[in-house]
Amino acid sequence: MGGRPPQQVIYRQSPTAPTVYQSVIPEEDFTNLSNYIDDLKDQRAKKKKEREDLGFSDSAMAARQKSYLQQEQDAYKASLPKNPIKPTGTSSAQGFKP
């Protein structure tokens, strides 16, 4: 009868020394990056100054928000009835017996 088939033989390559890669970043790139970041900070400061000149500074916006809140509260108080309804002491639930 039949027997087992022969096992496969796997040949592996012998290990070799790893290839080492080294990247070199020129100093000029760091200088360019630093200049770019400084430009972005200057642009951000300029935009903030323009926004504040238009009346959107933090203090102006806080004052505006406070006035909006006051207007909302005044409108709510104005909508309340002048003479609130006072309870007379009797209600339909008092006569209810389970």
CA dist list (Å): 85 to 44, 55, 96: 57, 45, 23
The count of residues in the chain is 98
Q: Let me know the angle formed at the C-alpha of 25 by 22 and 29, rounded to the nearest 5 degrees.
A: 170
For residue range 51-98, what is the model confidence (pLDDT) as tens digits? 999 888 888 999 999 999 999 999 999 998 888 777 666 555 555 555
DSSP state of 18: P
Whether the pLDDT of residue 18 is over 70: the answer is yes
What lies within 8 Å, CB to CB, of 52 at 6+ separation is 60
Its pTM stands at: 0.45
Q: Identify the three-state secondary structure at position 42.
A: helix
As a whole number, the mean pLDDT across the chain is 86
